[in-house]
Structures are given as C-alpha cells and as structure tokens.
Copies of this chain bind each other. A is one copy, B any other.
C-alpha cells in the first residue's frame, strides 16, 4: 500500500506520466480518471488496480514528480560553476531558461496541486509540499556554501533562502497563468537573481564592476542554448 516504488510497472508509470501532464495543464479536479486512462491508453479497471482511489494517484503523482524532476536538475548543465555562488546563479538562470513554450511544460505540479487541494485532500498537499521542500533542499548546500564563502553575516538561513527561490518561482508561475504572459514568470526570476546578487555583493570592495560581467550567463539570453 505505501511502498509504491519497488516495482514501477509500465502501466502504473504511464498513468503517472499522464497525471503529471494533464494535472499540470488542467488542474486536479478538471482531470478525470477517464482522461487519465485515455491519455495513458488504458482503462479504468487498470487504473483502480494500481491506485486505491484518485487521491492516492495524487499522492503518487507528487512523489513521481520529485522522482522525475530530480534527474532533470541533477543532469542540468549548471553544476559546473566554480564557486558555490556561481552554481546558485546557474540554477536560477537554468530555471529561467526553461520558461518557454506551453505553461504545462515548465510549471510545477506540486505547487498546482498544493494550491488546489490543501483543504480537500490534505494528503496530496502534504506530498506536494514534500516535493517542493525536497527540491529546495538540493539548493541549500550550494547556498550554505556560498554564504560561508562570502564571509558575511546574513539575517536568514540557507534553508530560508532556498525555499524562497521556490516561492518566487511559484509566484511567477501564477502570474504567468493569470495573465498568459510568460515574461511575468521570467521577470520574477530576474528579480530573484538580482536579490541574490545584492545579498552576496561585497560592499567594501569595488561594487558591481568586475563581478557583473564574469558571472553573468545571462549574456546568452539571445540564444538560449543552455538547455538541449
């Protein structure tokens, strides 16, 4: 019942993939079990064989979400930064670079489900929260290291800033969804980047002169070739 991952049968996997796609696009309630089965090329009999009910699918989808995004970010080409701070910026630039195309292709399943289901299906919301938190945790080490490297004192923890990056992304997604303008999400990421630049800027030494240039991968914004 709880140990869902030991065997990842193909059908179950297909249902989960369908769930990620459709729920990201239409939301949880608007995605019917029939929709999922059609998308997965299966029938309801098999759906309810693999999942006790729709809520269980929601929980499993949140877990599947972390399972499928973790490799995406681990394999992303932003871990090559020399300093920890550069890796943090590379993460942010990467997050910005993938904001394009369809909303469902870059928005966050966990944020979507948490918002919609936090009252009606707390279990799904909790699983979604875990997904967000665990993803933020992958950033925390670099942020922590960057804070130590900078020899400054900060009024917040590395965890807090890591989580904040996710908050800004989630907020950007909502703006993009509500206006249809992807630039709103990109702007949010830009502000986030600027915030972190300012946080780590050494005010005693010459400000902004040398470092703005060397660590600005944004220069490639003209042709976003950062992601395959």
- Distance between Cα atoms of A125 and B27 in the complex (Å): 13
Taking the nearest CB of chain B, how far is it from the CB of A71, in angstroms?
22
A198 — nearest CB in chain B belongs to which residue?
B198
A127 — nearest CB in chain B belongs to which residue?
B178
Q: Which of A104, A155, A208 has the most CB of B within 10 A?
A: A208
Asked whether A218 lies within 8 Å of B227 as measured between CB atoms, the reply is: no
Give the chain B neighbours of A228 by CB distance below 8 A.
Answer: 100, 183, 186, 221, 224
Asked whether A170 lies within 8 Å of B175 as measured between CB atoms, the reply is: yes
Give the chain B neighbours of A205 by CB distance below 8 A.
Answer: 194, 198, 208
Number of interface residues of A (CB under 8 A): 77
Complex partner residue of A178 from B111, B120, B207, CB under 8 angstroms: B111
Query: A145 an interface residue at 8 Å Cβ cutoff?
Result: no
Asked whether A184 lies within 8 Å of B208 as measured between CB atoms, the reply is: no
Give the chain B neighbours of A221 by CB distance below 8 A.
Answer: 225-226, 228
The 10 A-B residue pairs with the shortest CB-CB distance, nearest first, are A171-B171, A29-B29, A167-B171, A129-B178, A114-B178, A198-B198, A118-B177, A170-B171, A204-B208, A195-B195
Could you tell me which A residues sit within 8 Å of B by CB distance? 25-30, 96, 100, 103-104, 110-112, 114-120, 125-126, 128-129, 132-133, 155-156, 160-161, 163-164, 166-175, 177-180, 183-184, 186-188, 190-191, 194-195, 197-199, 201-205, 207-209, 212, 216, 218-219, 221, 223-228
Instruction: List 9 additional A-B contacts (Cβ < 8 Å) besides A27-B115, A163-B184.
Output: A118-B177, A126-B178, A160-B191, A194-B224, A201-B204, A207-B212, A208-B209, A218-B224, A219-B225
A-B contact pairs, 14 of them (CB 8 A): A27-B120, A112-B116, A118-B180, A168-B188, A174-B174, A183-B228, A186-B227, A194-B199, A198-B198, A202-B203, A205-B208, A208-B208, A212-B223, A221-B226
